[in-house]
């Protein structure tokens, strides 16, 4: 199974190249939130994508669908276009053999909408629907924007993918799970190629306030760019970001027969449930351990084969400590010699997009022999004692990597990625 195209839009760049270049310089995409007023909220930072990068509906075949599209989907269209162009997917005649697998959640309702609705609600379960309808009703489009299948369907329509069409909603692991499920469909002979990935655009009032209320976000930071500090002792929560990542996964023979450039390999996928608590990860990282082991087993590889780990590394006290424990459990003595880094130190947490964006950065890093750094690593934490590639990218050849994604509620996914080597396949 190979990757023949990828694309992304992130707080660091409008495409893969720009994001990777800036990340390899250790730049942060986190800043004070500009898109809405955050006055009064204890966390006022995030990773936002520049609106001028959202030009994905330029093509006439989907322009009329723009009004149904969530911001997350608009990001995804940009990422998917880059991936599809790179893979030259348009050249494939049999569109029934191409599917879509998307991790996304849809938009949150804006404050104005909650306000508008409130005036038709008696506060006790009863709505005045007649007045609501007379007032212009609840926006048709808002209902559509929250629906994940609409996003997957528009993506399919936009890129003419007529095969299986999956919408995955597994919180922070949705992007990785969407790639994993796509991988399985191709392996089961159900598709020749899949457009897979994730998108998220919840840097809005309800999103930010919601995560503030569960105390998940970084609030004590000296500067926005210093706030996301995975594995650092002074980490205090994650930074909410938006973005999208898309990959074209393809059966090797299919890619070869049409002469597509092969950018990397997806070797295995593993997933697990913590089955512990909704709000906390398992203290020993048992779910994470299961996912990493399952991905390796799926790839017919063993821990000594892994050269790099692209961590979930959210910058919360809990995740980074348990992820470290889990890595030590899986890799034993060797754990301390494997570079482990978190792209979230620079990009923040893009929730359903994270697994896709981070997998792509891992693939690009492998092809260029560059390991992206964990920035803001200043104060070592005795509980986090691995090689986190602190603050500067590292030039190092590597051929097999794991990319972790762990979701709220305890859904864990791990992708095993490989540099494409002709003889192995």
Task: List active site positions.
Answer: 172, 312, 349
CB nearer another protein, residue 56 or residue 109? 109
- Check residue 367 for interaction with another protein (CB under 8 A): no
- Check residue 407 for interaction with another protein (CB under 8 A): yes
Residue list 174-203, contact with another protein (CB under 8 A): 174, 177, 180-181, 184, 187-190
In the complex, what is the shortest distance from the CB of residue 393 to another protein, in angstroms, rounded to a whole number?
33
Which of 3-11, 36-44, 310-318, 325-333 is the region at the interface with another protein (rule: CB under 8 A)? 36-44
Give the residue carrying structure tokens 């990773």: 47
CB nearer another protein, residue 279 or residue 369? 279
Contact 23, 346 (CB under 8 A): yes
CB nearer another protein, residue 82 or residue 271? 271
Residue list 142-171, contact with another protein (CB under 8 A): 143, 146-150, 152-153, 156-157, 161-171
Residues with Cβ within 8 Å of 43's Cβ and at least 6 positions away in sequence, in order, are 208, 211, 212, 217, 218, 219, 237, 239, 240
Site string for another protein, 258-297 (x = CB under 8 A): -------------xxxxxxxxx------xx--x---x--x
Residue list 76-105, contact with another protein (CB under 8 A): 96, 99-100, 105
- Check residue 135 for interaction with another protein (CB under 8 A): no
CB nearer another protein, residue 303 or residue 409? 409
CB nearer another protein, residue 269 or residue 388? 269
- Check residue 379 for interaction with another protein (CB under 8 A): no
Which of 212-220, 369-377, 381-389, 397-405 is the region at the interface with another protein (rule: CB under 8 A)? 212-220
Tell me the backbone φ, ψ of residue 31, rounded to 5 degrees.
-155, 175
- Check residue 55 for interaction with another protein (CB under 8 A): no
CB nearer another protein, residue 156 or residue 362? 156
Number of residues lying near another protein (CB under 8 A): 90
What is the length of the chain? 425
Among 20, 57, 68, 159, binds another protein (CB under 8 A): 68
- Check residue 399 for interaction with another protein (CB under 8 A): no
């Amino acid at each position: 199974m190979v990757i023949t195209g990828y694309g992304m839009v992130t707080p660091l760049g409008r495409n893969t190249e720009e994001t990777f270049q800036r990340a390899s310089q250790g730049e942060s995409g986190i800043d004070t939130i500009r898109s809405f007023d955050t006055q009064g909220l204890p966390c006022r930072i995030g990773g936002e994508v520049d609106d001028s990068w959202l030009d994905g509906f330029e093509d006439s075949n989907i322009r009329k669908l723009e009004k149904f599209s969530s911001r997350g989907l608009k990001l995804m269209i940009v990422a998917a276009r880059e991936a599809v162009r790179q893979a030259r997917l348009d050249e494939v005649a049999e569109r029934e053999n191409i599917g879509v697998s998307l991790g996304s959640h849809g938009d949150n309702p804006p404050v104005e909408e909650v306000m508008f609705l409130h005036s038709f609600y008696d506060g006790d379960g009863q709505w005045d629907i007649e007045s609501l309808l007379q007032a212009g009703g609840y926006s048709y489009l808002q209902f559509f924007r929250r629906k994940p299948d609409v996003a997957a369907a528009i993506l399919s329509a936009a890129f003419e993918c007529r095969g299986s069409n999956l919408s995955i909603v597994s919180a922070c692991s949705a992007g990785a799970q969407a790639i994993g499920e796509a991988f399985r469909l191709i392996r089961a002979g159900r598709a020749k190629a899949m457009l897979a990935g994730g998108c998220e655009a919840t840097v809005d009032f309800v999103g930010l306030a919601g995560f503030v209320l569960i105390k998940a976000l970084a609030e004590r930071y000296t500067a926005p760019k210093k706030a996301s500090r995975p594995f650092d002792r002074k980490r205090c929560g994650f930074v909410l970001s938006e973005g999208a990542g898309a990959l074209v996964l393809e059966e090797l023979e299919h890619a070869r027969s049409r002469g597509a450039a092969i950018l990397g390999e997806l070797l295995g996928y593993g997933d697990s449930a913590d089955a512990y608590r909704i709000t906390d990860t398992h203290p020993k990282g048992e779910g994470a351990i299961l996912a990493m082991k399952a991905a390796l087993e799926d790839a017919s590889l063993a821990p000594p084969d892994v050269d790099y780990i692209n961590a979930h590394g959210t910058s919360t006290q809990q995740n980074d400590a348990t992820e470290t424990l889990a890595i030590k459990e899986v890799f034993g003595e060797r754990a301390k010699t494997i570079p482990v880094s978190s792209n979230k130190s620079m990009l923040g947490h893009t929730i359903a997009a994270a697994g896709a964006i981070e997998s792509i950065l891992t693939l690009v890093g492998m092809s260029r022999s560059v390991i992206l750094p964990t920035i803001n690593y200043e104060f070592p934490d005795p509980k986090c004692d691995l090689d986190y590639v602190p603050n500067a990218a590292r030039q190092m050849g590597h051929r097999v990597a794991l990319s972790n994604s762990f979701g709220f509620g305890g859904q864990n996914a791990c992708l095993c990625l490989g540099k494409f080597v002709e003889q192995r396949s």
